[in-house]
Amino acid sequence: MIKEANFIVFSDDWGRHPFSCMHIMKQFLPRNRMLWVNTVGMRLPKFTLYDLWRSVEKLRSWFGHSTSKVGIPNNLTVISPVTLPFSNVKQVRLFNKWSIIRAVKKEIERLKFKRPILLTTLPIAVDYIGAFKEIVDVYYCVDEFSKWPGVLKDLVERMERDLIQKSDLIVVTSEELQKTKKKDSVPTYLLPHGVEIEHFRKSQTLEPAPFIKNLKKPVIGYFGLFDERTDSELIDFMAKNRPEWTFAFIGPKKVETKVLENYKNVFFSPPVPYIELPKHLAGIDVFIIPYKLNELTKYINPLKLKECLAVGKPVVSTPLPEVLKLKQAVRIAWTKEEFLNQISEALSQPLDQSAVDKVLEGEDWSFKAEQVSQFIEEAINKKNSSGKNMVEIV
């Protein structure tokens, strides 16, 4: 793996929730230094409790009071430059560009970074490409951002096109993204999400957390963000037709759930720290991934899919493209009725552990990081006309 390199990363806020970029880049930290830049999101803010809380989090981070409970590892520096909400107003974009470049350059000078590697998961980082004398620019694309509700579609598409053209390396998390994120002069690598296998296997030996332990069996569970992708109508149908089952949801909510909360067999828990997640999953009998099938979800690779499998319990999902690739280990439901039937069978039949083990083989985040390291090495070698690497590879 690459060592003694300097990374600049533009992605979701460090530690706010577990996500693929954070999982991968943590693997580089023991032998490299990293500057992580928390920036503004691309979705236009609304007057909701979720967005209000995110605004509070941002304000606190600007003044050095992060709400994250996740510690900062050695070799990592996290900064939160002052930025205005994402907008197509030219002056706003210019201010954000000035503020972020100024803050990053200040940290680069303090840290004595030389010839950094820049990696971004966000199209908005196109405004910063080339500003830090980086040796290689990497676009790690984890979603089709232009399809998200509340974003400025044309602006996001334009920024992403420019970012792809400026990037030396493109890595995507799904085959659907691989079809659309292309640049003639560089390959677009497919890198499906990984999983911290041992972390989730802990749930097999832990006492369930009180929230789960006190629920009536069987418990049908989901963890993660409850948002526009989640099929609330499917959940409503299942809760209504299986009152003897308990449906438990763990994580933040971005959409209205009052209708579901009226059911006596539906329960919501606020998000829990990643380190405590295994004991909250320990008492779940069947996991579900109840995503809608539409233009928003066809590009995603659900991070929680392999996490559920690592827990060692059955998983039932709607037929998302990336889920279908693992159908030997996941139960697929094409209709609401079939979803109920698949859960019933999962409750009564033993899990095919051998199929699960085969799917998870080589899927730990450490393996994913090694692949990213190889991709970066190739990109550096291609840019370096003398053939001498600018960072040491071991």
Report all structural domains of the chain as residue ranges with CATH numbers, in order of start: 2-194+364-393 (3.40.50.2000), 197-358 (3.40.50.2000)
The pLDDT assigned to 337 comes to: 98
C-beta separation of 20 from 193 below 8 A: yes
The whole-angstrom separation of Cα 295 and Cα 171 is: 20
The whole-angstrom separation of Cα 131 and Cα 380 is: 18
The pLDDT assigned to 15 comes to: 85
Q: Is pLDDT at 53 greater than 50 in this prediction? A: no
Q: Is pLDDT at 394 greater than 70 in this prediction? A: no
301 Cβ partners below 8 Å, 6+ apart?
142, 173, 174, 192, 193, 322
Q: Is pLDDT at 381 greater than 50 in this prediction? A: yes
C-beta separation of 100 from 39 below 8 A: yes
Q: Tens of pLDDT along 196-209?
A: 999 999 999 999 99
The pLDDT assigned to 50 comes to: 42
The whole-angstrom separation of Cα 23 and Cα 96 is: 27
Average of pLDDT values for 301-317? Answer: 96
The pLDDT assigned to 383 comes to: 86
The pLDDT assigned to 64 comes to: 55
The whole-angstrom separation of Cα 73 and Cα 33 is: 10
The pLDDT assigned to 59 comes to: 44
C-beta separation of 33 from 115 below 8 A: no
Q: Average per-residue pLDDT in the chain?
A: 90
Q: Which of 54-68, 231-245, 286-300, 301-315 has the lowest mean pLDDT?
A: 54-68
B/e letters for 306-317, b = 16+ CB within 10 Å, e = fewer, are bbbbbbebbbbb
For residue 129, CA distances in Å to 104, 135, 297, 333, 381 come to: 12, 11, 29, 43, 19
The pLDDT assigned to 225 comes to: 93
The pLDDT assigned to 49 comes to: 46
Q: Is pLDDT at 185 greater than 80 in this prediction? A: yes
The pLDDT assigned to 63 comes to: 55
Band of residue 354 on the pLDDT scale cut at 50, 70, 90: very high
Q: Is pLDDT at 55 greater than 50 in this prediction? A: no
Fill in the DSSP letter of residue 148: S
Number of H helices, E strands in the chain: 15, 15
Q: Tens of pLDDT along 145-177?
A: 999 888 889 999 999 999 999 999 999 999 999
Q: Tell me whether the omega of the peptide bond preceding residue 218 falls within 30 degrees of 0, making it cis.
A: yes
Give me the percent of the chain exceeding a pLDDT of 70. 90
Stronger pLDDT, 69 or 123, i.e. the higher one: 123
Band of residue 19 on the pLDDT scale cut at 50, 70, 90: very high
Half-sphere exposure of 265 (CA within 13 A, CB side): 19
The pLDDT assigned to 87 comes to: 73
The pLDDT assigned to 44 comes to: 54
For residue 253, give the nearest of 58, 53, 56 by alpha carbon: 53
Average of pLDDT values for 250-255? Answer: 93
Pairing mode, strands 169-172 and 188-190: parallel
Q: Which of 69-83, 101-115, 145-159 has the lowest mean pLDDT?
A: 69-83
120 Cβ partners below 8 Å, 6+ apart?
9, 10, 11, 137, 138, 139, 140, 163
Stronger pLDDT, 235 or 45, i.e. the higher one: 235
